[in-house]
Amino acid sequence: MNVASAATGHALPVAGGRATAGEVWRLSRGHRLRLAAVGLAGILSTAVDLIPPVAIGYLVDRVQTGTGDLGTVLTVTGVMALSALLGAAGTAVTIAHATRVYHTVLAALRERLVSRAMLLPRHLVERAGTGDLISRSSDDVTAVADAAPAVIPALTVTACTIVVSLAGLAALEWPYAAAFAVVLPVYALAMRWYLRIGPRVYRAERAAMSARAQQILESQRGYATVLGFGLAEHRHRAVLTDSWGVAVQSIRARTVQSMLNARLNLGECLSLAAVLVVGFVLVDHGLSTVGGATTAMLLVLRLLGPVNQLLFVVDTLQSALASLSRMIGVVTIPTAEEADASMTQAGRADLADQADPAGRADQADQAAAPGPAGAAETATAVRLRGVAFHYADGPSVLDGIDLDIPAGRHIAIVGPSGAGKTTLASVIAGVHRPDGGTVTRPRRTAVISQEVHVFAGTLRENLTLAAPDATDGDIRAALETTGAADLLELSADALDTVVGTRGHPLTEAEAQQLALARLLLADPELAILDEATAEAGSAHAERLDRASEAVLAGRSGIVIAHRLSQAATCDRIVVMDAGRVIETGTHDELLTADGTYARLWAVWQAGQQISASR
């Protein structure tokens, strides 16, 4: 498992066999008729391939009896050549159509995986580690796609070959088929051994890949921290350790392959010996001809290849199935919206219980949803009761948090470094689930963190990520509102201007304006700004403060304030220290109280005066 999962036990789920089969069956809808045609083509092409062994046996009997001549040889040769061409054509058609269906279904699954990954409850991804999700959408997709060249022929032509060849042996002389059937338990035992060992080994290999991906991703994301604290050697050792973990698991998997191959070779040897002995006995007793025995041996030789291929490809198939189960495990996770709906329903029940001991549903709805003018004062957007949280086995970060945020109001959360402000915002947003207590929030909640991201693409694509139906007029209005209209002048392409990687670079202030405009277009019920304008510097502070106020207008808002000037403009201020709420009130009330906030304000003002004098 990945590092985060190992530490917390919160790995993303892996689908069971029934769930995997059910999802694949659902994805095959619309392709089942084509799959039936693929099966029919496979049977016909393999039936044609039975002609050469029969023709050779016929030629041997004619030569043995002295009735064969040049015409016989030419006829047999022509029939074999024609059957080879027809068989090859049929096999090609079968594999081509099977491959097309396979990759069409895989493409649909990949799209569902990416779509669902973008909607997953954030606390699941955070606790499992993003490396796990990245591994499932990259390594596992690649493993399933790369299995196609081996799996498709085995599950189409090879399976048909085994069925048709066994039928041919039985039609020739039933003892030949019986001789081969006697050896089948060897293959069955080999398969039983492999199915007991193989899946576990491949799951371990995929989990090791997830752990390696997590370490590499953390090193890349924390590049500045790694350099700043001289952690390069430590990170190198961590990546190297997990890379060796992948190597060890890969060697285990290859060892299992070799052991399976040895068992298949034993089955092949016993099969040939059994048919040879039966052929000798039948010919010796006049129950079969030399030509018949030759045909039987050729059919068995032709059959051994597909049998070994089918059993050996189970090795590849198990690896692909392990990856497929991990992919479908993500696809079947309830989305963040579904989880939010469940949480909102629970929150409404809590509101109803507190508003009316009888818990009447109509009053719960009135308390949980904004109403007309007078109801706005009593409607609650966010409610926290007894919320506690800690990271993994670390100390408590939040302890007994009780907080109500009225709908449409703006709350600032301030406090010294390490007070738990960002953790509280993450718990409210649903990025983390509390270890204790309850959280009720609106279904449509959006967060802008301090580390905003500019996606490689056009301005339009960046802004419509959260609002795909937004028109160009909507986009321009959002840019105007957030004071980011200058972005339209980066080039003559306006909204089609490419930004991010390989495009126009944006300053930190411009990137934050872009994020604010994106949030405005998303139009959430609750907006959380987690120091979202902290990195822009004092030169742009006033502009970004105005943009933040414009974005929060008309909706509930939570501001994790880096600059206390932001906190002063909010309706109410929550002061935190050591994971607890120690003060609440308006800016003026807290200054009058002369407590922690008043001291923070005095220090902040002194810092501003020093900066202004420089």
DSSP state of 391: -
pLDDT for 606 equals 81
Could you tell me what percent of the chain has a pLDDT over 70? 87
Largest CA-CA distance found in the chain, in angstroms, rounded: 121
pLDDT for 341 equals 55
pLDDT for 474 equals 87
Judge whether residue 365 has pLDDT over 80.
no
pLDDT for 532 equals 58
The CATH number of the structural domain formed by 14-333 is 1.20.1560.10
Judge whether residue 538 has pLDDT over 60.
no
d(C-alpha 364, C-alpha 354), whole Å: 9
Q: What is the mean pLDDT of the chain?
A: 78
Question: Among 334-343, 431-440, 502-511, 552-561, whose mean pLDDT is lowest?
Answer: 334-343
pLDDT for 354 equals 41
Judge whether residue 353 has pLDDT over 60.
no
d(C-alpha 271, C-alpha 268), whole Å: 5
- In this predicted model, what pLDDT tens digit does every residue of 473-495 receive, in sequence order? 888 888 888 887 888 877 777 88
Mean pLDDT of 322-348: 67
Residue given tokens 């994971």 in the structure block: 579
Closest-CA residue to 203 (of 106, 300, 323) = 323
- In this predicted model, what pLDDT tens digit does every residue of 381-408 receive, in sequence order? 899 999 998 887 778 888 888 989 888 8
pLDDT for 348 equals 46
Structure tokens at 445: 């909640």
Mean pLDDT of 184-194: 82
Closest-CA residue to 572 (of 589, 596, 594) = 589
> Residue 533: which pLDDT band, with cuts at 50, 70 and 90?
low
CA pseudo-torsion sign 279, 284, 286, 291: positive
Domain segments of the chain as ranges: 14-333, 341-390, 408-613
d(C-alpha 558, C-alpha 573), whole Å: 10
CA 242 to chain centre: 21
Question: Among 311-320, 396-405, 424-433, whose mean pLDDT is lowest?
Answer: 311-320
Give SS3 for 321: helix
Mean pLDDT of 216-232: 77
How do beta strands 572-577 and 580-585 pair?
A: antiparallel
d(C-alpha 587, C-alpha 448), whole Å: 24
d(C-alpha 601, C-alpha 587), whole Å: 10
pLDDT for 360 equals 32
How do beta strands 445-448 and 410-414 pair?
A: unpaired
Closest-CA residue to 595 (of 414, 350, 353, 381) = 414
- In this predicted model, what pLDDT tens digit does every residue of 571-583 receive, in sequence order? 899 998 888 989 8
14-333 shares its CATH topology with 408-613 = no
CA pseudo-torsion sign 255, 260, 262, 265: negative
> Residue 352: which pLDDT band, with cuts at 50, 70 and 90?
very low
Structure tokens at 197: 């060992």
Residue given tokens 């906030």 in the structure block: 597
Mean pLDDT of 161-173: 77
pLDDT for 129 equals 67
Please tell me the class of the 408-613 domain: alpha beta
Question: Among 251-255, 390-394, 551-555, whose mean pLDDT is lowest?
Answer: 390-394
Structure tokens at 10: 């919160």
Judge whether residue 612 has pLDDT over 70.
no
pLDDT for 342 equals 52
pTM: 0.54
Judge whether residue 163 has pLDDT over 50.
yes
CB 101 within 8 Å of CB 155: no
How do beta strands 396-406 and 380-390 pair?
A: antiparallel
